[in-house]
Amino acid sequence: MRIAYFDCASGISGDMTLGALVDAGADIGQLNAAVESLGLPGCRLVAREVRKRGFRATQVMVEHAPETGHRHLHHILAMIDRSALGERPKQLARRIFTRLAQAEAKVHGVPIEKVHFHEVGAADSIADIVGTAVGWDLLGIERAVASPVPVGSGRVKIAHGEVSVPAPATAELLRGIPLAPSQAPCELTTPTGAAILAELASAFGPLPAMTVERIGYGAGQRDLEIQPNLLRLLVGTAEAPVPSTEAEPVWVLETNLDDLSGQMIGYCTARLWEAGALDVYTTAIQMKKNRPGVKLSVLCPQSRIETIEEILFAETTTLGIRRWPVERHVLPRQAHTVQTEWGPIEGKVGWQPGGPPRFAPEFEACQQIALKHGVPLRQVYDSALRAFDGKNLPSR
């Protein structure tokens, strides 16, 4: 398994993450191609080697034309959807921006669609997040662990005035993440960095057992007196954990709706997927007074219950949500890419106890190939299945 460790001794920001990925081997040319496809006027990444208190690192700057005005979440998501990004980095970038919007919506007390992105909606922050998503994909990282995160101290000036460190959105994004003490009189962790870390890291603590293959150093813009302003990213391999087929606790959230249009339910469903739901589905039901209705069901981990319920209350007419814990059995699985006559196609491999590995191509990846080359989708799907040979996979 490809694994990465974020050593956040001086916090984390979008440009530090991007610098660490480039320093670890992500090709700046491919990152620029992805950023240019967003349609931001004159936007490009420039990487250079710098020194921070005697340590070499890569600093990535974003050059772009002057901007006026602010963007909403739907503007940025549409920009990402129209881009030339692959499906995996595209979805990762969408999730990071959705996290940012949820945090901003909560601290300002407004619906997510009314959030005005200020600093994080600027071209440089968009390029940082999209570049990070693409770099993550280029390095093939499947899992990340991070150290506790220092946020700095003092006060920082944002679009809404001067606030204490951590800024409100940063604090919201870091909920549930262990923080480290810091005497640095500045903002070490930015909202963009916090959103990236919250989305990518699945665990926090010391360096995990791994074979380190690459080490990337990403430089922040500020020079600190007390420490080098660097983010260190260690990339390598680790023994792939064998996911247990034993019961995994998750939660079901459910509500009945009889006064909401299908378009509204579809929009709500899309938002639930973006918020980290494991499954979302609807069931036709008969409600009181013989009214036809829809039962909206969501499966999610316990950590996403609050976010899921906020979306259900905001986007539907429901006045109550049923919820209860359930258990599910999950087969061991991992991401896998096969090579076909039209190029690589991503998918997942699963193992049934005592049986051979089974490969399932990703629908979006097959769809992109079919549209690009003008061939039937079924033909692409079948080709991907034939290309899977089950070799070079960890034993189960």
Beta carbons within 8 Å of 282's beta carbon, 6+ residues apart: 265, 269, 294, 295, 296, 297
The answer to whether 315 and 307 are in contact (CB under 8 A) is: no
Residue with tokens 């079924």: 378
The answer to whether 102 and 272 are in contact (CB under 8 A) is: no
CB atoms within 10 A of CB 279: 13
The answer to whether 129 and 43 are in contact (CB under 8 A) is: no
Please tell us whether the domain made up of 247-329 is placed in CATH 3.40.50.1820.
no
Q: Which two tokens stand for residue 58?
A: 């890569």
Measured in Å, how far apart are the chain's first and last C-alpha atoms?
Answer: 13
> What strand order describes the sheet that includes 333-340?
333-340, 343-351, 357-361
CB atoms within 10 A of CB 15: 26
Q: Amino acid identity of 72? A: H
Cis peptide bond upstream of 344, omega within 30: no
Identify the bridge partners of residue 296 per DSSP, sorted by sequence position.
255, 282
The answer to whether 231 and 19 are in contact (CB under 8 A) is: yes
199-231 pLDDT tens trace: 999 889 999 999 999 999 999 999 998 899 999
- Rg (the chain; Cα; Å): 22
The answer to whether 22 and 73 are in contact (CB under 8 A) is: no
Return the pLDDT at 139.
96
Return the pLDDT at 380.
94
CB atoms within 10 A of CB 226: 11
The answer to whether 305 and 299 are in contact (CB under 8 A) is: no
Domain with CATH 3.30.70.1380 in the chain: 247-329
Examine the pLDDT at 251 and tell me if it is beyond 60: yes
42-64 pLDDT tens trace: 899 999 999 998 999 999 999 98
Q: Return the sign of the alpha-carbon dihedral for residues 1, 272, 74, 99.
A: negative
- Residue 109: which pLDDT band, with cuts at 50, 70 and 90? confident
- What stretch of H or E contains 371? helix 363-373
Return the pLDDT at 223.
92
- Residue 244: which pLDDT band, with cuts at 50, 70 and 90? very low
Mean pLDDT across the chain: 88
Query: How many Å apart are CA 213 and CA 185, to the nearest integer?
Result: 34
Return the pLDDT at 105.
85
Examine the pLDDT at 396 and tell me if it is beyond 70: no
For 185-251, the DSSP string reads SSB-S-HHHHHHHHHHEEEESSPPS-EEEEEEEEE-SSPPSSS--EEEEEEEE-PPP----SEEEEE
The answer to pTM > 0.75 is no
What is the percent of the chain with per-residue pLDDT over 70, rounded to a whole number?
92
- Residue 247: which pLDDT band, with cuts at 50, 70 and 90? very low
Return the pLDDT at 358.
85
Return the pLDDT at 391.
61
Average pLDDT over residues 331-358: 82
Return the pLDDT at 248.
54
Residue 317's φ and ψ, nearest 5 degrees, are: -95, 10
